Structure 1
């Protein structure tokens, strides 16, 4: 007989906040007290909400952003200091591994236990890397480059490899801004490029300006000793009723089912333009390595929300980064 999982006990919001600060919630408590909030989610910024059947919020009405920050705090527990000789040996062994710094959006960090693990999770668990991840879902390219939270860890001298993920919201989340309405009767995927506004190229150019600033920051913080790894996302698949791709395309007259080839071609073209620009930037900038994720991501490698890799996709992306880092690591 299979035992039924016991539900976590009800909790008051003040107590939940305290437990989050202490990072003392179990996996079951995290999944019981927090739920995905699809209504308030944005591309690359999944929102969370409280399970009010268990969380007594009283008169408080925290914003989805505040709830996400609380969840991030709860799942960023610091590893305890080693107390036994064996633990000390394991810690020293980990410190001796190749160190990676990761900064970025939800392709590098999603709410644990609610969403699939990311490539950064697998780089730390399946490959011999010591990963410090400062990425957070919802962070956008411009904001990350202006905040420069990566600069201090880079200045520590501990990292020779810096993985960055940014711009997904500007590309996969920008269909309402940069795609023209469908022409009556047109279902030809060969016309995909005609539906992308000229202003999208201007947006791409602006994004490359932020990437150049990022590369300069990394160079200045490390004296040119760090390698920056960038990627251009992949050809996501619009779905009927999809919150991020399918619905915006449907609103413009592109039915994700009836006009599936054209819908996919439009998304693929927008992703292609970003990848072309990012590859050109990397080729013209010292110590920058471009990674193309499109060849490794298949239709089966996407999470149900359209724009994030599932765990099979994340493993493939981790392998690409692992191989790139190995290729740029001096042999001792």
Structure 2
């Protein structure tokens, strides 16, 4: 489905919702689960036509169905872009950088003007606000800017390599810090030595952002890669939701709260929706979990120790196993989706930069596993 198709369906939806669903289904044939959703909406439309209800109720129900149709239209990846167009990172980030610099200069200028006029208290207030903002948001802003600069640089290198090495396989990557590590060479860097690689991976990226990145989907549709590589879940497992899924007090082998069951279900659903789409967009889709965490220090290890777990690594191992088993089972449902098992690759703590991230040597060993799967 291209941009024109989407625009046509949206316009048609406002005029004839039933025909819009019929036309939408034609585009969803390669995506059975989404096709089932459209068929279900179509059945609800037919049922609504025969119900003896007020006109107001009918319009409200139809409006709800239209919202569902619109959501389906938006979820379908765009299959083509303007001829000759190229996506190189997220160029908007440069404007954000300029705005931050301008804001900082304006604030400093205002503070200096106040000092010149001997208004010291307001100047101190401005200074305090600046320091507070820098303390609260500084790390996040710098991570964001670094991510976007890396994506942009890798985009330029990718398009340069397409000309220099036209016979190399195209590999497009979406993932987290294991593919965009700010401390040194990562998996993307090592794979780029053998393939034309473009990575949209970002340090600190969440699973939903990774697996539903519309810009990455556009890139896939435009570049038609031989290989798509996806990896997600670490941010949620060991940072964002870690405190909620681990019991407040250790209790034998029962590590997790009921929230963990819902979390695992959401992970499977997100991956399933993504694979449903990408499986038809590339010759090979590769997904992976993570290796076992062997580093015995850091925030995760400390929290588990404080909560009374005698063997914190057993908890971390269970989390890693569950994620790997879940995505491995999903990969088995598609003939061109391949799962890479990274567990046991980095058994030595000497190959880890910190509790959750390998160092350059560790990433090199992991990259070899991906290379073997790409070649296999």
TM-score range relative to shorter protein? 0.5 to 0.7
One of 138, 142, 162 as aligned partner of 2:228: 162
One of 292, 310, 331 as aligned partner of 1:235: 292
The alpha-carbon distance between structure 1 residues 273 and 323, as it changes in their structure 2 partners (threshold 3 A), is same
Q: Please, which runs of 5 or more residues in structure 2 have no aligned partner?
A: 1-93, 102-126
The alpha-carbon distance between structure 1 residues 264 and 158, as it changes in their structure 2 partners (threshold 3 A), is same
Considering Cα pairs closer than 8 Å and 6+ residues apart, tell me whether 1 or 2 has the greater RCO.
1
Report 1:42-191 matches (<5 A): 59=130, 61-62=133-134, 63=137, 64-75=139-150, 76-77=152-153, 79=156, 92-111=163-182, 115-125=183-193, 128-173=194-239, 174-183=241-250, 191=252
The alignment's C-alpha RMSD in Å is: 3.2
User: What SS does the aligned partner of 2:165 have?
Assistant: helix
Q: Which residue is equivalent to 1:36?
A: none
User: What SS does the aligned partner of 1:95 have?
Assistant: coil
| Structure with greater strand share of residues | 1
Whose Rg is larger?
Answer: 2
Q: Distance in 2 between matches of 1:81 and 1:205?
A: 36
CA displacement 1:217-258 (0-9 Å, x = unmatched): 2135x2xx3321111102113534x12x1222133123xxxx
Shift, 1:319, TM fit? 0.5
Aligned length: 249
Shift, 1:264, TM fit? 0.9
Q: Distance in 2 between matches of 1:218 and 1:158?
A: 11
CA displacement 1:248-281 (0-9 Å, x = unmatched): 2133123xxxx3xx11111101111111111111
One of 300, 313, 317 as aligned partner of 1:264: 313
Shift, 1:169, TM fit? 1.9
Shift, 1:322, TM fit? 0.3
- Tell me, yes or no, if the aligned pair for 1:101 and 1:133 is still in contact at 8 Å: yes
- Tell me, yes or no, if the aligned pair for 1:100 and 1:161 is still in contact at 8 Å: yes
Q: Distance in 2 between matches of 1:59 and 1:171?
A: 33
| Structure with greater helix share of residues | 2
CA displacement 1:110-140 (0-9 Å, x = unmatched): 22xxx13211111113xx2110011111111
Q: Which residue is equivalent to 1:226?
A: 283
User: What SS does the aligned partner of 1:131 have?
Assistant: strand
One of 230, 242, 261 as aligned partner of 1:201: 261
Shift, 1:181, TM fit? 3.9
